[in-house]
Amino acid sequence: MKSIISNDRKCIVCDSTVNLHKHHVFEGTANRSKSEKDGCWVYLCSRHHNGSNAGVHYNKVFEMKLKQDTQRAWEKIYGTREDFRKRYGRSYL
Ligand SMILES: [Zn+2]
Ligand SMILES: [Zn+2]
């Protein structure tokens, strides 16, 4: 499934087009595959993924914002907040 956040092949933070990683927004074994199916993933450069403290895997503020933005996009396409909570185990909003 295409990303529901951005289909541009560039980092969503800095627009870099090199060293792109595909980051699944909702992680854990079950949620990762649901994220793939639902398009809850984004491109990030290595610096904004896991290659520095600015990366989503180390920056809690960025991680939460991305989860919230993605949940909002998910609710526009797939269903209610309760539907989201059932599918991913919790709400970030
Ligand atoms: Zn970047
Ligand atoms: Zn990741």
Query: What confidence tens digit (pLDDT) does each residue in 15-74 have?
Result: 999 999 999 999 999 999 999 999 999 999 999 999 999 999 999 999 999 999 999 999
**What spacing in Å lies between the alpha carbon of 80 and ligand 1's midpoint?**
31
Amino acid at residue number 87: R
CA distance 25 to 40: 6
For 85, phi then psi, to 5°, come to: -60, -40
pTM of the model: 0.95
pLDDT at 7: 84
67 Cβ contact list (under 8 Å, min separation 6): 25, 26, 92
Smallest CA-to-CA distance from 88 within 1, 30, 42 is with: 30
Ligand 1 center to 83 CA (angstroms): 31
Protein residues with C-beta less than 5 angstroms from the ion ligand 1: 11, 13-14, 16, 45, 48
Facing residues of 41 across strands? 24
